[in-house]
Structure 1
């Protein structure tokens, strides 16, 4: 099963050093039965795009959490795409995040298919979205608009052999 795992550049660096993402369980996003039922008119590519978007939103939250913990993290959302055994993925019944899944095993880097990451030009909008997240969560419409602005940026696709170059930039 293809799973989209939210990440950050520091977490990706750690995953590369350790040979994988983990420890389990990991929160990921995938084309689940609930997502397929909800988005009935979508084809597989459209459904995967929804799962990728949910993972990018989770990456933004990871960035905010890292910053709150004093971790220096570049303002770039990161999503790791991995192929994991179906048996290691369980879908929940979350109506807000229909694509959310739980991965019950660590994911070795050999199972990573690609990485999606914000372009450097998105950094100002990502910074603003990180700052606006608390107010957005409290229902502030202006803050939600800022967060949505960050989500309007398309993530760039990178092959696994490009990961070292990403981490060096």
Structure 2
């Protein structure tokens, strides 16, 4: 199963050094039955993009919790055994948890297919969006607009061999 693990650049550096993302459990995003049901008209590629987008939103939340992290969203795409990606049935229909899975094992570097990262020139907008997450969660419409604006920046694709240059 292809999963998308939200990280920050500092977490990516630790993953690179340790040779794995972990320890488990890890939150990731994947094409789950609930995500499929939500996006009824999407083909497989569109569903994968939706899961990647959900992980990018989660990465923004990680940035909001860590003011010292570089202001660029990071998502690692990895292929893991289906048995290690478990969706919480109690949250399956929760719009905030669409596509969310818990990984029961660390993700070895060898299982990572690609890394998706914001371009350096997106950092200022991502910083503003990360700062607005709390207010958006409390219902501030202007803050929600700012947070949603982070999605205007497409994540760039990097090969696993390029992690060294990213961190």
TM bucket, shorter chain: over 0.9
Question: 1:94: how far off?
Answer: 4.1
* 1:128-147 → structure 2 map (5 Å cutoff): 128-147=128-147
Residue 78 (1) aligns with residue 74 (2): yes
Residue in 2 aligned with 1:22?
22
Question: 1:65: how far off?
Answer: 1.0
Question: 1:84: how far off?
Answer: 0.3
Question: 1:131: how far off?
Answer: 1.2
1:133/1:147 contact within 8 Å kept: yes
Question: 1:151: how far off?
Answer: 1.6
* Aligned-partner Cα distance in 2 for 1:47–1:152: 18
TM (normalized to structure 2)? 0.95
Residue in 1 aligned with 2:94?
95
* Aligned-partner Cα distance in 2 for 1:3–1:76: 20
**Which runs of 4 or more aligned residues in structure 1 lie more than 6 Å from their structure 2 counterparts after TM superposition?**
none
* 1:32-71 → structure 2 map (5 Å cutoff): 32-67=32-67
* Aligned-partner Cα distance in 2 for 1:163–1:16: 7
Q: Structure 1: 5+ residue runs without aligned partners?
A: none
* Aligned-partner Cα distance in 1 for 2:62–2:38: 26
Q: Structure 2: 5+ residue runs without aligned partners?
A: none
Q: How big is each residue's C-alpha offset from its partner over 1:40-75, in whole Å with a ceiling of 9 and x where there is no partner?
A: 1100100011000100000011111111xxxx2110
TM (normalized to structure 1)? 0.94
Secondary structure of the residue aligned to 1:34 is helix
RMSD between superposed Cα atoms in Å: 0.8
* Aligned-partner Cα distance in 2 for 1:37–1:133: 27
Secondary structure of the residue aligned to 1:154 is coil
Secondary structure of the residue aligned to 2:3 is strand
Residue in 2 aligned with 1:2?
2
Which stretch has the larger CA shift, 143-152 or 2-11?
Answer: 143-152
1:94/1:100 contact within 8 Å kept: no
* Aligned-partner Cα distance in 2 for 1:135–1:38: 26
